[in-house]
Structure 1
Amino acid sequence: DTLRLHRIEAACIPDNARSIRVLEKAGFRREGLLRSYLRINGIWQDHYLYARIEDDPPGAETKD
């Protein structure tokens, strides 16, 4: 079965270099910073928002 998704989003903490690398290697593009996005261990944490659009090339690394 095919899900036919148009857009996929992922968020990660800016200090998490490994997650950033995985997302960029998978072709996700950084779209912005979400301030105080999630509360982790009682502390509100900023996150980067990444996204892939249906027409993006597969696994393309992008640098803006």
Structure 2
Amino acid sequence: AFDTLRLHRIEAACIPDNARSIRVLEKAGFRREGLLRSYLRINGIWQDHYLYARIEDDPPGAGTKD
């Protein structure tokens, strides 16, 4: 995506208790950058989300747990 679309940064967000999504993001080299409080309203309830990002210079699989 970085070369094809000429992107510098890709972001993703997931609910903190979604361990499978967190694992996928970290395996793909995304790094957790913080907590987005009341980020999305899901089924009428505001949900916190973790913000993950990957920068084009990050090595593949460089995701880390905080």
TM-score range relative to shorter protein: over 0.9
Identity of matched residues, % = 98
Unaligned runs of 5+ in 2: none
Instruction: Return the TM-score normalized by structure 2.
Output: 0.90
Tell me, yes or no, if the aligned pair for 2:31 and 2:62 is still in contact at 8 Å: no
Deviations 1:3-58, CA, capped at 9 Å, x for gaps: 11100000000000000000000000000000000000000000000000010001
Normalised by the length of structure 1, the TM-score is 0.92
Compare 54-63 and 12-21 and name the one that shifted more.
Answer: 54-63
Look up the match of 1:38: 40
Q: 2 CA distance for matches of 1:40 and 1:63?
A: 25
Cα 1:31–1:60 shift into 2, 3 Å: same
Measured after TM superposition, the shift of residue 2 of structure 1 is 1.2
Separation in structure 1 between the aligned mates of residue 5 and residue 21 of structure 2, nearest angstrom: 24
Moved beyond 6 Å, runs of 4+: none
- Aligned residue-pair number: 64
* Long gaps (5+) in structure 1: none
Q: CA RMSD in A?
A: 1.4
